[in-house]
Structure 1
Amino acid sequence: MPINSKRFTLSALSAAVISAASVGVQAQDAASTTLEEVSVTGIRQSLTNAMDIKRDSAGVVDAISAEDIGKFPDTNLAESLQRITGVSIDRSNNEGNKVTVRGFGPNYNLVTLNGRQMPNSSALQSEGITRSFKFSEISAESVSGVEVVKTGKADVYSGGIGSTINIKTARPFDHDGFVASASVKGVMDTSVEKGDSVTPEFSSMVSGTFFEDKLGVLLTVSHAERDSRSEGVGTQAWVPNYGTADTSAIDRNKNPEGTYWAPWTFDVDVSDHQRERQNGQLVVQFAPVENITATLDYTASRYDEQISMNRTSVWFDTSAGVTDSNGTVINPSVQNDELNFWAWDYQFVTDNDSVGLNVEWEATDSLSFALDFHDSTSHSQPGGLPAETIANTKNPGKMVDVVADFSSSSGLPGISFDDSDLAGGAYAPQNIVSDLFQERGYEIENSIQQFQLSGAWENLDDGALKTIRFGVATTDYQVDVFESGSFAFVNLGDLAALGIDFENRGDFGDQMGSNSGLFPLLADYEASDFIDAVKANGDYYEATPTFDKVSEETLAAFVAMDFETEFNGYPVRLNTGLRFEDTDVSGTSIQNGIVGLSYWHVEELREVNDDMPSADTLDGDYTRFLPNVDASIELNEDLVARASYSRTLSRADISAMFPSTSLDVSRPGGPFNASQGNPGLLPITSDNFDLSVEYYYAEGSYASVGFFKKYVENFIGATTEERVIYDVNGNPITDPSANPRPGCPDSTGANAACLNTAGDPVITWSVATPGNLEEAEVYGWEVAVQHMFGDSGFGAIANFTLVDGDVEYDVFDNENSVALTGMSDSANLIGFYEKDAFQARLAYNWRDDFLLDTRQSQIGNQPVFTEAYGQWDLNASYDVTEDVSVFLEGLNLTEETIRRHGRFANQLVSAQQYGARYNIGVRARF
């Protein structure tokens, strides 16, 4: 465990920074008092630093500190955050991606970088357009610390009713003179079938101060590649009252309406992933005189993930079966249908850039000011690159009978089919024809410009009032969306050029349960080859794009005061503050007007648009006051009690605010689903109460227990209205497939008779619109213990969180309008050893089942639950010299799988298998 000494000078301003810093800090003092600091690195020091932040903070704050320069505890920030009490994560491709805090999912937590709000963009349509930050885009090596602020603060930007998560990166004035670090590792993903079995990652940081520490420059860069495979089984949606079913087994005491749910598809997926991520940060600090420090920084990330997926599936166009007591159709079957063989290409590209300027001025010994500005942008799919390209081939003539088995509430369902009427069988090349292609995706540019002028007055005399902080801030939040898409049925004739092949199922999904009931062969071909054939055949089609924009402008002002006094001889600290915010919202949608629907295919009604774009604009505004009071009392030198109250807010997802009406699903015979946004949505507000007791009984050791309760108003939920939608001429849209005219359906578009007319039946659409609906209460307990076993080198951490409330999803209620996604219990158990040159940490993280989403892939108002999940991770390193170490990291050692279901456990939505991942590398510090 290396020990380094450095000399630095101390000032009143830097003392406040030191108390919250996760790595060594250099500052300058007006009195030029010289002190000696001993900086100890490693697991123990990292945990001790985080403990000190928790103890010294006003309100409830938990933190993670880097173990050394360029050495964050985990390879992924979300994986580290899940170790904090009350924090749990959701995984994407077996990697931490989004964070839930105290039962409030990603959309309810604000993520900041060095105190600044960060933009977000996602090209995946199924996710919608949210404000939630994806931690997979940020390298952990450049991070010096992360703080999770669970109570509201007047001087912190609003946006998180669950928490504000602040990511801190290094600054050159944090270090004395020249400092550098670098690491190189090989990533070995055991799931890889296509791609490289070992992929590289490297990172480096160089920092130096010059001209008697008046100028500092820091540069960090990182590059990461990862190849992997995921295997999945599931369905696109469980549709209520779909097809026909024997409902005699339904328990009417639980399901009085006798609603039944049938699967829309049965899917088996194989996905091969290739991901590249580059991060970089350049920081220049300049202190021309003793009382002024300017910091200019530029942060960038480039994220590129390409996924090649193949899917073998059955589409239950109509189904029949028998239900269980809940209403799940457990044996859906279709007669005279076909197998479908899909190819999917995903390409997700996101560019993030942030430029910031901060100037701190110590005007007097007691008064200081700070100006902070940043301009940050997240841009997905630059140039309108499609995020998803989809191709489908199938058996001709509807000559296959299919039966599925969804009776099991665990493991995998089964599928069986009779293809005896197809000479050669369903997999024979001569029995496969082209079906359709589809392209879709968002190009999103989310920009945030924030300006804040703040000040702080420090009382240098006696008195309970110690500090007053004040400031004004503006936030200009803009989202521009270009939505593209295309969908067409095609007939390509001979498909030999596509090279459609089939792989034996083999050990596919063997960790998810018995795979004996799955398809014996799985399709393998490229969607790009299919699109090339479509273009060569002259069948390529592009739908009319739409443009959406949301603009939010917020003016804020705040004042906060710190007090220190005594009560009956016990030291008391008090922080109180008030934040005022005024927000104006404008939403605009530009799209071509709807002429009507064309009966295009037996499975498709296609929207027909004119060539005249028109704009719809809706506005909204609101004003909020956000107070906070934090109090702590030292009952003795080891025991601290806290009480906090705060009001916080979270704003609506962007995709909920587009004013246009979108025809989402229109199929012959239904369903007919549409949606419309609402820029007038009010923010969700929460009154938060916290009580906790913390016992700091030894160096690096503590125990804490806390209770929290949140009273939440204006929960945003889906309201559904059954209504008529009108075309550009003011006429109701009708259904041309109800009484088809001769020559219809027609997929050429040449037959004008297939367009709907006034004489066709008027369609009643189910139009989903978000609205502020209900109030709710959420409460829970957080318990944590961190213990160092003396000088033995051993230590342990155990924590758990229990969360409950009155916003749980009622699986038997077909009209659920409000539910809290992400609410679940969680726990961590971590053991570590650090002695001399050796460090090792073994961690187990567990999260109970939770509501992931209230919308399944193909249908709204149907839930997706993620089942309970636990994962073991290992990290070990050995210091070859004082400055060089080798390390081994293992993630998901026991190869756990993820299973998600609908209303009931046997309504499988997706079961996914990934595998373990190992990193081996070397790290150097200079």
Structure 2
Amino acid sequence: MNNKRFHLSALSAAVVAASVNLQAQETSNYGDATLEEITVTGIRQSLTNAMDIKRDSSGVVEAISAEDIGKFPDTNLAESLQRITGVSIDRSNNEGNKVTVRGFGPNFNLVTLNGRQMPNSSALQSEGITRSFRFAEISAESVSGVEVYKTGKADVYSGGIGSTINIKTARPFDYDGLVASASVKGVMDTSVENGDSVTPEIASMVSSKFFDDKFGVLLAFSHAERDSRSEAVKTQGWVPNYGTADTSAIDRTKNPEGTYWAPWTFDVDVADHQRERQNGQLVLQFAPIDSVTATLDYTASRYDEEISMNRTSVWFDSSDGVTDANGTVINPSVQNDELNFWAWDYHFVTENDSIGFNVEWEATDSLRFALDVHDSTSQSQPNGEPAETIANTKNPGKLVDAVADFSSGSGLPGISFDDSALDGGAYDPDNIVSDLFQERGYQIENNIQQVQLTGTWDNLDDGALRTIKFGIANTDYQIDVYESQSFAFVDLGDLSEMGIDFESLGDFGSEIGNNSGLFPLLADYEASDFIDAVKASGQYYEATPTFDKVSEETFAAFVSMDFETEFNGYPIRVNAGLRFEDTEVTGTSIQNGFLGLSYWHSEELREVTDDTPSADTLEGEYTRFLPNLDASIELTDELVARASYSRTLSRADISAMFPSTSLNVSRPGGPFNASQGNPGLLPITSDNFDLSVEYYYDEGSYVSLGYFKKYVENFIGSTTEERVIYDVNGNPLTDPSVNPRSGCPDSSGTNPACMGTADDPVITWNVTTSDNLEDAEVYGWEFAVQHMFGDSGFGTIFNATLVDGDVDYDVYSTENVFALTGLSDSANLIGFYEQGPLQVRLAYNWRDDFLLDTRQSQIGGEPVFTEAYGQWDLNASYDVTENVSVFFEGLNITEETIRRHGRFANQLVSAEQYGARYNFGVRAKF
């Protein structure tokens, strides 16, 4: 019987190095064997390496390896990960950003760097404060491989019930002597209007060993710039039972309460993006004696994005209209209102730093120990600047009538307006006055300190037990959040010096749909100029900030055992493990107490606070045991069957654990929305079962079919209850706008009569909080085929994931407390050719519609669905010499668009267009 297998060398398999020495060994019944060492790179070898990792792993593991030194398959890690069976992504500015695995969204997946948990921070308030990792901040050129653990393992840090994704970077001891690579790339984004049509990306890495290979140094650096434009039609949310509506068309068999939803706004946005990203890594390795290897590494990333956005919009305050059968108001209209002209300046800064130290000691031939320590920090807005600066101007006198058309469930809705009552029309600069400014954002510092001591014992004698791994670990997770949000209506008088201009729509949204039904002109001015004018007029103010902190400390201990034996002549491998974790959580909020609400403006009730900050602290604690059992059997030389069980957990989002009460929206006449956190949230736990069969029928070729089922407990959901909120003196907050007193509203804040009193109506708030609410089942099928067409150079990959469960969002229910975000089917089709100096790869990625969020921009409790999306990407390279190649990459070459909606398809949340992106450059290795 011939047994033909292709293996990575032990060192290369450990690091999935960019350039590997492959050992191909053939053994026959006659006992003779040959060993040949060859150097191989490229698409075929990258796929073969990944296949071998999948085949040789315990549990269900997928992998991607670099195709060469400094050459990862895609320019973005998330875009590479989406090629893996069961992995799909969400995009930000048409770039892969966060991942979903087996239907579990970004918050349910743990991302590690070289086995270490990485911190996260984002200044964007609309995203909330989560643990989900932003892949857009990491350059792909410095990565040697990525592993996706779909089943739990005792020796892997906990935190992902969807998966644990481990990003691997190279070490100097991975290579023989001096190696180096460098690439220079030009990025051409077809959407650019304001900015450079071609922006640079450079990446380099050099590694070498010294002093008889006892000391090694690796240095990697990359710099990337990208200019782009996004165009979108949006609404700020769909409000239940907002305004008045003719509901006679509602189908009461589906919507028995007759609930109707009206849009809050109709928006047309144009945003120009400028992004810079730097990544750097320094690794030092020292092996003073054969049995000891020490590694000191420092990894840093800097991410800076500036966005200048303008918006023309209408607010449907107290609108009226007619509903369709579902309850969507399809023709909302307002009379005696105005057009709004917004300007946004976004400035996002994120700094990530990680320093780690690792010592590996071979105590005896059979016993090894490893100590790993790291201190990693992610900071957003480290300079304290607001992340968003917002300005609004409008037409005066409320002389515009507007009506929208949301009757279509696809493409773009329409808007029409009558501005004949304005002399010169709505776009005449003389008919524009100042309205409001706003500054907001999170300043976050997320620090993770981890210490882990592990041991490995290998059985050098006969017996089924081959290896025992054991260890203890401590994780200190700290996050500090400074939240600022200043908001004020202002009167700036003459705006002529601000240079407010208007531009035609042109080919705006040409890929989204017909733009003839949109606003004819879009505003064009800078929010920073507006803020300068506010400061010059003496009307600028900064709201009282709030401070929130979560401290989470976890002690863990684990033991894991590997067995190898035979059953009726069939080789069997078993891994059994148990992980124990004890976690203590403390949540603290520091904020000034509420004194009441002031009737500040006809559209604003402003909270008034005292001058004495007070701290509110709550604590929680939980203990969990996380077992795993993985078994595989080689039914033939080519056929492997696999079964796995594991228990995994995911921890609550950070913003769900702040004890403070926040008044989110308070407008005269409502809505009145507030939120409060819950530090006592328990982790979400999942019992995972996997069955799969894999047929490895040729070098680099295989077929696999798998079934998985997850029994998930303690899903965290949002509950909204109506309740009264009290001031510092124990009195309920009241609404001073219902029966306004003389001189109110008053935007100066000096009129005490505009403060709420005990005689004013008590406000009933819709307060949203988080709790452990539901148990659920999620299940699905995974299918993959990877085939190399002999020596022709051609190959193909197809994979698909079908996932379902009792976690769907009921679009007709207004009492939804839980639904799983990210749940969707996905599929990939990849064709490639690699022969001689030429490599070409064409990939199509598809993801079905999915629930993105359970809250819209301004409306808590209302869902956001992302519609089905497919994208074509192209990659080609040509080796000019053995060490130099030129390459071309095309992303979203068919210029697909992204559309999101609320409960129903015609409840548009956003329709976005980005265009295609092309990269071209040269890569060298030495």
Which string of whole-angstrom CA distances, capped at 9 and with x for unpartnered residues, describes residues 104-144 of structure 1?
A: 00000000000000000000000000000000000000000
Matched residue, 1:564: 564
Matched residue, 1:507: 507
The offset of 1:17, in angstroms, is 6.5
Looking at structure 1, the residues matched to 11 and 562 of structure 2 have their Cα atoms a distance apart, in angstroms, of 13
Matched residue, 1:103: 103
**Contact 1:377 1:445 (C-alpha < 8 Å) held by counterparts:** yes
Which string of whole-angstrom CA distances, capped at 9 and with x for unpartnered residues, describes residues 648-668 of structure 1?
A: 000000000000111111111
Matched residue, 2:384: 384
Looking at structure 2, the residues matched to 567 and 68 of structure 1 have their Cα atoms a distance apart, in angstroms, of 40
The offset of 1:20, in angstroms, is 6.3
Looking at structure 1, the residues matched to 71 and 728 of structure 2 have their Cα atoms a distance apart, in angstroms, of 59
Query: Which one-letter code corresponds to 2:268 in the other structure?
Result: V
Residue 383 of structure 1 aligns to a residue whose secondary structure is coil
Query: Which one-letter code corresponds to 2:582 in the other structure?
Result: D
The offset of 1:21, in angstroms, is 2.9
Which residues of 2 match residues 351-366 of structure 1 at below 5 A? 351-366=351-366
Matched residue, 1:766: 766
Matched residue, 1:5: none
Looking at structure 1, the residues matched to 11 and 140 of structure 2 have their Cα atoms a distance apart, in angstroms, of 25
Looking at structure 2, the residues matched to 16 and 491 of structure 1 have their Cα atoms a distance apart, in angstroms, of 68
Query: Which one-letter code corresponds to 1:139 in the other structure?
Result: S
Matched residue, 1:445: 445
Query: Which one-letter code corresponds to 2:278 in the other structure?
Result: Q
Looking at structure 2, the residues matched to 497 and 617 of structure 1 have their Cα atoms a distance apart, in angstroms, of 49
Looking at structure 2, the residues matched to 923 and 525 of structure 1 have their Cα atoms a distance apart, in angstroms, of 41
Which residues of 2 match residues 309-320 of structure 1 at below 5 A? 309-320=309-320
Question: Taking structure 1 as reference, are residues 526 and 862 closer, same or farther at Cα in structure 2, changes over 3 Å only?
Answer: same
Matched residue, 1:155: 155
The offset of 1:384, in angstroms, is 1.4
Residue 530 of structure 1 aligns to a residue whose secondary structure is helix
Which string of whole-angstrom CA distances, capped at 9 and with x for unpartnered residues, describes residues 808-851 of structure 1?
A: 00000101101000000000000000000000000000000000
Looking at structure 2, the residues matched to 320 and 263 of structure 1 have their Cα atoms a distance apart, in angstroms, of 11
Q: Does 1:890 align with 2:885?
A: no
**Contact 1:24 1:174 (C-alpha < 8 Å) held by counterparts:** no
Q: Does 1:652 align with 2:652?
A: yes
Residue 516 of structure 1 aligns to a residue whose secondary structure is helix
Which residues of 2 match residues 303-702 of structure 1 at below 5 A? 303-702=303-702
Query: Which one-letter code corresponds to 2:242 in the other structure?
Result: Y
Which string of whole-angstrom CA distances, capped at 9 and with x for unpartnered residues, describes residues 262-300 of structure 1?
A: 000000000000000000000000000000000000000
The offset of 1:918, in angstroms, is 0.3
Which string of whole-angstrom CA distances, capped at 9 and with x for unpartnered residues, describes residues 501-557 of structure 1?
A: 100111100100111100000110000000000000000011000000000000000
Looking at structure 1, the residues matched to 858 and 604 of structure 2 have their Cα atoms a distance apart, in angstroms, of 14
**Contact 2:19 2:41 (C-alpha < 8 Å) held by counterparts:** no
Which string of whole-angstrom CA distances, capped at 9 and with x for unpartnered residues, describes residues 734-780 of structure 1?
A: 11111111110000001110001111111111111100001000000
Matched residue, 2:5: none
Looking at structure 2, the residues matched to 583 and 601 of structure 1 have their Cα atoms a distance apart, in angstroms, of 47
Query: Which one-letter code corresponds to 2:134 in the other structure?
Result: K
Calculate the aligned-residue CA RMSD, in Å: 1.2
Q: TM-score, normalised by structure 1?
A: 0.97
The offset of 1:26, in angstroms, is 9.1
The offset of 1:36, in angstroms, is 6.6
- Farther off after superposition, 665-674 or 433-442: 665-674
Matched residue, 1:21: 16
Looking at structure 2, the residues matched to 354 and 226 of structure 1 have their Cα atoms a distance apart, in angstroms, of 25
**Contact 2:20 2:39 (C-alpha < 8 Å) held by counterparts:** no
**Contact 2:208 2:218 (C-alpha < 8 Å) held by counterparts:** yes
- Farther off after superposition, 760-769 or 327-336: 760-769
Residue 497 of structure 1 aligns to a residue whose secondary structure is helix
Which string of whole-angstrom CA distances, capped at 9 and with x for unpartnered residues, describes residues 164-190 of structure 1?
A: 000000000000000000000000000
Query: Which one-letter code corresponds to 2:881 in the other structure?
Result: T
The offset of 1:916, in angstroms, is 0.4
Residue 529 of structure 1 aligns to a residue whose secondary structure is helix
The offset of 1:18, in angstroms, is 3.2
Matched residue, 2:189: 189
Looking at structure 2, the residues matched to 36 and 549 of structure 1 have their Cα atoms a distance apart, in angstroms, of 57
Query: Which one-letter code corresponds to 2:629 in the other structure?
Result: V
The percent of aligned pairs where both chains have the same amino acid is 84
Q: Does 1:838 align with 2:833?
A: no
Looking at structure 2, the residues matched to 212 and 275 of structure 1 have their Cα atoms a distance apart, in angstroms, of 43
Looking at structure 2, the residues matched to 169 and 116 of structure 1 have their Cα atoms a distance apart, in angstroms, of 12
**Contact 1:225 1:277 (C-alpha < 8 Å) held by counterparts:** yes
Matched residue, 1:30: none
Query: Which one-letter code corresponds to 1:700 in the other structure?
Result: G
The offset of 1:24, in angstroms, is 5.0
**Contact 1:19 1:53 (C-alpha < 8 Å) held by counterparts:** no
Which residues of 2 match residues 36-55 of structure 1 at below 5 A? 37-55=37-55
4+ residue segments displaced more than 2 Å = 14-27, 34-37
**Contact 1:215 1:284 (C-alpha < 8 Å) held by counterparts:** yes
Residue 139 of structure 2 aligns to a residue whose secondary structure is coil
Which string of whole-angstrom CA distances, capped at 9 and with x for unpartnered residues, describes residues 646-687 of structure 1?
A: 000000000000001111111111111111100000000000
- Farther off after superposition, 759-768 or 333-342: 759-768
Looking at structure 1, the residues matched to 15 and 51 of structure 2 have their Cα atoms a distance apart, in angstroms, of 11
The offset of 1:23, in angstroms, is 3.9
Q: Does 1:706 align with 2:706?
A: yes
Matched residue, 2:61: 61
Looking at structure 1, the residues matched to 533 and 631 of structure 2 have their Cα atoms a distance apart, in angstroms, of 68
**Contact 1:503 1:523 (C-alpha < 8 Å) held by counterparts:** yes
Looking at structure 2, the residues matched to 819 and 39 of structure 1 have their Cα atoms a distance apart, in angstroms, of 50
Query: Which one-letter code corresponds to 1:709 in the other structure?
Result: K
Matched residue, 1:793: 793
Which string of whole-angstrom CA distances, capped at 9 and with x for unpartnered residues, describes residues 17-73 of structure 1?
A: 73663445799xxxxxx9873220000000000000000000000000000010000
Matched residue, 1:269: 269
Looking at structure 2, the residues matched to 919 and 336 of structure 1 have their Cα atoms a distance apart, in angstroms, of 50
Q: Does 1:783 align with 2:772?
A: no
Looking at structure 2, the residues matched to 827 and 564 of structure 1 have their Cα atoms a distance apart, in angstroms, of 35
The offset of 1:337, in angstroms, is 0.4
Q: TM-score, normalised by structure 2?
A: 0.97
Looking at structure 2, the residues matched to 533 and 316 of structure 1 have their Cα atoms a distance apart, in angstroms, of 28
**Contact 1:560 1:575 (C-alpha < 8 Å) held by counterparts:** yes
Looking at structure 2, the residues matched to 60 and 810 of structure 1 have their Cα atoms a distance apart, in angstroms, of 32
**Contact 2:15 2:144 (C-alpha < 8 Å) held by counterparts:** no
Looking at structure 2, the residues matched to 95 and 845 of structure 1 have their Cα atoms a distance apart, in angstroms, of 13
Matched residue, 2:249: 249
Which string of whole-angstrom CA distances, capped at 9 and with x for unpartnered residues, describes residues 574-614 of structure 1?
A: 00000000000000000111100000011100000010000
Residue 809 of structure 1 aligns to a residue whose secondary structure is coil
Looking at structure 2, the residues matched to 279 and 889 of structure 1 have their Cα atoms a distance apart, in angstroms, of 21
Structure 2, unaligned runs of 5 or more: 1-7, 23-33
Looking at structure 2, the residues matched to 894 and 366 of structure 1 have their Cα atoms a distance apart, in angstroms, of 56
Question: Taking structure 1 as reference, are residues 450 and 35 closer, same or farther at Cα in structure 2, changes over 3 Å only?
Answer: farther
Looking at structure 2, the residues matched to 918 and 670 of structure 1 have their Cα atoms a distance apart, in angstroms, of 47
Looking at structure 2, the residues matched to 248 and 276 of structure 1 have their Cα atoms a distance apart, in angstroms, of 53
Looking at structure 2, the residues matched to 114 and 24 of structure 1 have their Cα atoms a distance apart, in angstroms, of 18
Matched residue, 1:742: 742
Query: Which one-letter code corresponds to 2:431 in the other structure?
Result: N
The offset of 1:719, in angstroms, is 1.2
Query: Which one-letter code corresponds to 2:13 in the other structure?
Result: I
**Contact 1:20 1:53 (C-alpha < 8 Å) held by counterparts:** no
Looking at structure 1, the residues matched to 724 and 871 of structure 2 have their Cα atoms a distance apart, in angstroms, of 49
Matched residue, 1:862: 862
Which residues of 2 match residues 124-163 of structure 1 at below 5 A? 124-163=124-163
